[in-house]
Structure 1
Amino acid sequence: MTGELRTDRLSIALAEIFRTPPEVVEVVAEEASPEERSWDALVSCEYTAVLGHVSWALDIYARETVVEHPDESELARLLAEKLRCVVLYPSGGAMRPSAYWLVTPDGLVTRARLLESDDDEPFHTIDAVEDPVPQLPDVRVELMREVIREQPVPVPIAEGFSAAVEAWWEARSREGKGTEPSALEPGSSLWYARNSLGAWEKSVHRVENDWQPGGRYPVDMYAEDLHVRDEIDELLHGLPQEIRETFRNSVNRLDERFREATQGDGGKALAASLGTSPISMVNKGWWWHRRPVRLPWKGL
């Protein structure tokens, strides 16, 4: 969090958020000795002073017996509102350590890139945010392209295809028809097929879910996704006959979902956004002739 830390206000805020009496809320410095701790507290917050654009790091714990258990995003929003400060929390999962969400006192939620120096006392820099933050007027505003790409997306269809390939290959091996360790070895046609299928599934998922959680997506990255779909058609003909139909069915399922989540316009919106003529779309696959219901790159 940014700004001044007043432990009395923080204690009251946590009591309200977790709906517990203030006397069972502990706010204590991380370096406090065991004798200074309240081991009966239902909600405990350890704070540490840090250097840079952020002033304090908070570790908050709540026992299962408390009434409310907000998730990290809701907890950050409520703390920002009640303490009138900027609060950041990690994106989590497989995201890079610098990927954070930032919440302002007025409820703005935006991605932020938080960097930590290698000094003995690390200096924390909010390198960039995706929306202007009034409390941080000197921080640059830019799209976190690396975070958008790394956002975890479920790919059950691609995983199902991989499982089908492995089962087919094991059956071949038992029959003495296959000697390689795996049909999905890097560089094989099936490996490329699996990766392309997974990339297309992620693209379809983003379209279906209106590009959440960030809500934005650059047009050049969207065009890259459509090029992946181009490659899928090329890969199909190079696959072993026994697995080709499985791959085709997987692609068809994703294509149907893509059609349902987009609108046909002959590629006009995409061509305009890419700065090309609609004529350039004529000989492209049908997926180039459809547009997202909401253009996620508008205004970028």
Structure 2
Amino acid sequence: MNGTAYGFLTAAAPGPDALTRALAEAFAVPQARVDVAPDGTVDGRNWDTALVTCEYEVLRAGDLRGMVQVYATPAVTAPPAPEEVAAALARESGTSVLVEWGTVPWVRKVFLPQGWTTYAAIEDLDIAQDQPWFRVYATQTGLAAFPEAEVEGLPATVHGVPAHTPLADALGEHRDLLHPWEALISRMAAGWPPARWYGADLYRADLEARDRLEAALPTLPDAVRTALTTLDARFHELTIDDAGEELGADPSVTPWYRHRRPAVLPWRVLLPADPEAADWLWKWVEEGAEGKPGGVDLSSLDLSGADLSGADLSSSLLCAVDLTRTRLHGTDFHRSNLQSADLTGADATGACFVRADLDGAVLRGTTLDGADLTRADLYGADARGATLRGACLLGATLIDTDLRGADLTGARLGETSFRVTLDDTTRVTGLTGTLTGPTTLTTPAGTPHPLTGPALEHWLRTRGSNARVVPPRHHRQAGDP
């Protein structure tokens, strides 16, 4: 009788103590019966009494720094699934753990220390001859462990979950013709497993498969026609007619199914890893499909790593929400409350923050290039290292706002309250318009130095800005409504 072998990759270098604890927990054996050692170690091993053995290797470079091989002896009568072991390893080691998933070798399921999961695409670059060198080039949720990875939907994860296609499976030689259409309908009915995502390009490919089926229909047997009638009726139930607007189909020259789209658009967002936040966000997506007006309350949720590009979050409550590393291209936050929200490292290029409340928000390293912050409030915001290239700040309130290291190249002001903190790394080339001070310039030694009126204008102009300092109409103070 053979034992059970497991293999894992880890974001950080594995430690023997954490490995021992995790394996003892996962396999329900005493820690004394777990033998953990660096790969290649022979001396001092507990071969005779160990129920679970583990060899690990610390990788010198790449996005993944650990390889872990585990073996459960035949004496372990109910070995856990690899996912259970990965979850225990992530929790005990405090790092992301990747395990093989599905049939595509480059896709891995990622277990996070918080108990959450997502998916990643990896490649072995084969740079080092004596050690693997892995690169994580895409993740379905933005992860701090892999900051260089693209955040995108991974089609391979969709195909890694077999679709239920009983009608197509019963058609013998005609199965492949009907299968894509039934698979689409099956996935739609199941809520788009495994991550409630389905790309618009995948949907278009399914419509093309339906086109081929339509073209072949006159030559097909009655069994195929009957199955197709059933599937078309189910497709009609699960979709809505938008006159082809979502996917750009002209109703006058395209068949009926191309005028319909899923009632809940599965390509609207990429959900965060936090399951509670994902559920709330998906509920909002569903409500949008039902045409319910108004904003949404996502306050205090962890939406980090999600992709909300183009989403309409206007008039929403997002107080203290975690939007770190979130993709917010063109997202609409008009009149939304983002007090104390954390947007560290988020990409909000072209986003709308008109009249948004960003008081106390953390915008460190946030990309706000081309964003519209007209009349936005940023009282006490920490925008160190943020980029606001070409941003619109007309009438915005920046009081006690930290702009050290920020880039305001080409930004536009208009009687903007600009009582901010700057330093010599703050870039203002091409900054135009009018502002009210005073500002505080922090010297390299950390000493604050006030800049007012002509002195502030001189500082700006010596750095490529022609913005003018004007008298304030009203100074907003802490506690003002």
Note if contact 1:2-1:85 (Cα within 8 Å) is conserved in structure 2: yes
Kindly tell me: are residues 299 and 281 of structure 1, through their superposed partners in 2, closer, same or farther at Cα, counting changes over 3 Å?
farther
1:25 paired residue number: 34
Structure 2 partner of 1:43: 52
Give the whole-Å Cα distance in 1 for the aligned partners of 2:251 and 2:109.
37
Shift of 1:290: 4.3
Residue 19 of structure 2 aligns to a residue in which SS? helix
Matched with 2:192 is 211
Partners of 1:39 and 1:99 in 2: CA distance: 36
Give the whole-Å Cα distance in 1 for the aligned partners of 2:251 and 2:110. 39
Task: Note the alpha carbon deviations across 1:88-147, whole angstroms, 9 max, x for none.
Answer: 11123x31x211122221234222111102342331111121211022223222222355
Shift of 1:214: 2.7
Give deviations 1:203-246, integer Å, cap 9, x for gaps.
1221122111132111232122122123212212123xxxx012
Query: Match of 1:5?
Result: 14
Q: Which residue of 1 aligns with 2:204?
A: 223
Aligned residues of 1:20 and 1:67 also touching (Cα < 8 A): no
* 3-state SS, counterpart of residue 198 of structure 1: helix
Deviation at 1:283, TM superposition (A): 5.9
Q: Kindly name which structure, 1 or 2, has the bigger radius of gyration based on alpha carbons.
A: 2
User: What CA distance in whole angstroms lies between the structure 2 residues aligned with 1:281 and 1:34?
Assistant: 74
Aligned AA (1:295):
L
Of 152-161 and 82-91, deviating more is 152-161
The letter of the residue matching 2:91 is E
User: Residue 216 and residue 117 in structure 1: after superposition, are their counterparts in 2 closer, same or farther (change >3 A)?
Assistant: same
Aligned to 1:273, which of 246, 249, 255?
Answer: 246
Of Structure 1 and Structure 2, the greater helix share is in 1
TM-score for the superposition, normalised by structure 1: 0.74
| Higher RCO (C-alpha 8 Å, min separation 6) | 1
**2:83 maps to which residue?**
73
Compute the displacement of 1:45 (Å).
2.0
Which position in structure 2 is the counterpart of 1:299? 269
For residue 56 of structure 2, give the secondary structure of its aligned residue in structure 1.
strand
Kept in 2, the 8 Å contact 1:10–1:27? The answer is yes
Q: Percentage identity across aligned positions?
A: 29
Q: Which residue of 2 aligns with 1:100?
A: 108
- Residue equivalent to 1:247: 224
Q: Which residue of 2 aligns with 1:187?
A: none
2:190 is aligned with 1:234: no
**Pair 1:145-2:115 in alignment:** no
C-alpha distance in 2, partners of 1:59/1:156? 39
Q: Does residue 55 in structure 1 map to residue 65 in structure 2?
A: yes
Deviation of 1:59 (Å): 2.0
Q: Structure 1 residue 65: deviation in Å? A: 5.3
SS of alignment partner, residue 273 of structure 1: coil
Are 1:287 and 2:257 an aligned pair?
A: yes
Q: Secondary structure at the match of 2:204?
A: helix
Q: Distance in 2 between matches of 1:255 and 1:40?
A: 61
C-alpha distance in structure 2 between counterparts of 1:20 and 1:272, whole Å: 58
Instruction: Give, in angstroms, the shift of residue 81 of structure 1.
Output: 1.7
Instruction: Give the counterpart letter for 2:206 in structure 1.
Output: D
Q: Distance in 2 between matches of 1:255 and 1:41?
A: 58
Cα distance in 1 for partners of 2:234, 2:78 equals 38
State the number of aligned residues: 258
| Range that drifts further, 23-32 or 9-18 | 23-32
Instruction: Structure 2 unaligned segments of length 5 or more: list them.
Output: 1-9, 271-481
User: 2-side partners of 1:295 and 1:61: how far apart?
Assistant: 43
Go from structure 1 to structure 2 and tell me whether the alpha carbon gap of 1:4 and 1:56 turns closer, same or farther (over 3 Å shift).
closer
How many Å separate the matches in 1 of 2:154 and 2:223? 36
Cα distance between partner residues in 2 of 1:28 and 1:127: 30
Q: CA RMSD in A?
A: 2.8
1:45 and 1:154 mapped to 2: Cα distance?
38
Correspondence for 1:113: 121
1:255 CA drift (Å): 3.2
